[in-house]
């Protein structure tokens, strides 16, 4: 499992507590928050609304706009988990789901976790058309006039998001011989 160690010197430090930053304006996020707090926990989970004054006070070094776009979990020693790794570490904290988290932490499992995160992101975007319940913008991605701006979002690992089509995956090419499967 990978984590940003923005707290400095957190590699190999035991995790004794996790703070899950969730989007309080997202019905899926609040449903998952409620589900998580009902689960037996091996590692205590604390739920804090992403982008809130409390989140900003507790984690001043985080990009709080980004925490509204992508699930973020912060360990008690400053470890920062995002996206698929955040989902995996959260499951790892739950007594009945630690085995699943260990399976998802494999290379193949990380792809499954990433797919789940991308599916949730697509659901969030399609549910509100980019606008949060209560009138705010989802993750600050839309300008004040409510338009998206037509921008597509691409990542180096082959995943891209286009507001017209949603998330798509186009694996990087192997023409330069850099693929693991290329001989």
Q: How far apart are CA 128 and CA 167, in angstroms?
A: 16
pTM exceeds 0.75: no
**Strands, E, within the chain: which ranges?**
18-22, 45-49, 72-75, 80-82, 153-154, 159-162, 166-169
pLDDT for the residue numbered 129: 47
Structure tokens, 26:
């997202």
Under the banding of pLDDT at 50, 70 and 90, the label for residue 107 is confident
In this predicted structure, the answer to whether residue 127 has a pLDDT above a threshold of 90 is no
Backbone phi, psi, residue 82, to 5°: -130, 155
Who has greater pLDDT, 157 or 5? 157
Query: pLDDT tens digits, residue range 69-85?
Result: 888 999 999 999 998 88
């Amino acid at each position: 499992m990978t984590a940003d160690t923005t707290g400095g010197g957190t590699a190999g430090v035991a995790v004794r507590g996790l703070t899950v930053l969730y989007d309080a304006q997202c019905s899926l996020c609040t449903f998952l928050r409620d589900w998580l707090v009902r689960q037996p926990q091996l590692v205590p989970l604390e739920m804090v609304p992403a982008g809130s004054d409390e989140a900003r006070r507790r984690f001043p070094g985080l990009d709080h706009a980004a925490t509204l776009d992508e699930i973020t979990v912060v360990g008690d020693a400053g470890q920062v988990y995002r996206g698929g790794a955040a989902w995996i570490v959260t499951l790892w904290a739950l007594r009945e789901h630690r085995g699943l988290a260990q399976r998802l932490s494999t290379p193949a499992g990380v792809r499954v976790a990433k797919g789940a995160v991308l599916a949730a992101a697509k659901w969030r975007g399609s549910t509100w058309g980019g606008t949060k319940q209560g009138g705010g913008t989802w993750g600050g991605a839309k300008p004040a006039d409510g338009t998206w701006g037509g921008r597509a979002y691409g990542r180096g690992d082959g995943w891209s998001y286009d507001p017209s089509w949603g998330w798509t995956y186009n694996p990087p090419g192997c023409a330069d011989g850099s693929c693991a499967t290329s001989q």
